[in-house]
Chain A
Amino acid sequence: MAFNEEFEVRIPSDTAEGQAVQERIIALLEKQQFSARDVFGVRLSLEEALVNAIKHGNGMDPEKQVYVGCWVDDEKARIEIEDQGPGFAVTDVPDPTADENLDKPCGRGIMLMRAFMSRLEYNETGNRLLMERLKNQPDNDDD
Chain B
Amino acid sequence: MSSGDTRKLDIEKIGDVTVATFTDKKILDETNIQIIGNQLFGLVDDVGSKKILLDFSNVEYLSSAALGKLITMDKKVKGAEGKLRLCTIRPEIYEVFAITKLNKLFSMHENRDKALEGF
Q: Is the interface of B mostly helix, strand, loop or mixed?
A: helix
Contacts of A44 in B (CB 8 A): 28, 61, 63, 96
Q: Report B92-106 residues with CB < 8 Å from chain A CB.
A: 92, 95-96, 99-102, 104-105
Residue contact A15 to B30, C-beta cutoff 8 Å: yes
Assess whether B68 is interfacial by the CB under 8 Å rule. yes
Q: Report B53-90 residues with CB < 8 Å from chain A CB.
A: 60-61, 63-65, 67-69, 71-72, 74-75
In the assembled complex, the Cα of A77 lies from the Cα of B61 at a distance in Å of 20
In the assembled complex, the Cα of A111 lies from the Cα of B63 at a distance in Å of 11
Residue contact A103 to B92, C-beta cutoff 8 Å: no
Assess whether A106 is interfacial by the CB under 8 Å rule. yes
In the assembled complex, the Cα of A37 lies from the Cα of B91 at a distance in Å of 11
Assess whether B31 is interfacial by the CB under 8 Å rule. yes
Total A-B pairs, Cβ < 8 A: 62
Among B60, B69, B100, B104, contact of A112 (Cβ-Cβ < 8 Å): B100
Residue of A nearest to B96 (CB): A112
Residue contact A104 to B71, C-beta cutoff 8 Å: yes
Residue contact B29 to A97, C-beta cutoff 8 Å: no
> How many chain A residues touch the partner (CB < 8 A)?
23
In the assembled complex, the Cα of A55 lies from the Cα of B99 at a distance in Å of 23
Shortest Cβ gap from B32 to chain A (Å): 10
> How many chain B residues touch the partner (CB < 8 A)?
25
The verdict on A108 contacting B29 (CB below 8 Å), with A103-B71, A103-B75, A115-B99 known, is no
Residue contact A111 to B99, C-beta cutoff 8 Å: yes
Residue of B nearest to A141 (CB): B95
Among A37, A47, A102, A106, contact of B29 (Cβ-Cβ < 8 Å): A47
Residue contact B101 to A37, C-beta cutoff 8 Å: no
The verdict on A108 contacting B68 (CB below 8 Å), with A40-B61, A48-B63 known, is yes
Shortest Cβ gap from B101 to chain A (Å): 4
Assess whether A43 is interfacial by the CB under 8 Å rule. yes
In the assembled complex, the Cα of A106 lies from the Cα of B63 at a distance in Å of 11
**Proximity string of chain A (111-134) to chain B, C-beta cutoff 8 Å, 1 when within and 0 when not:** 110010000000000000000000
Residue contact A108 to B69, C-beta cutoff 8 Å: no
In the assembled complex, the Cα of A109 lies from the Cα of B67 at a distance in Å of 10
Residues of chain B touching chain A, judged by Cβ–Cβ distance below 8 Å, are 28-31, 60-61, 63-65, 67-69, 71-72, 74-75, 92, 95-96, 99-102, 104-105
Closest 4 CB pairs of A and B: A105-B68, A108-B64, A97-B101, A109-B64
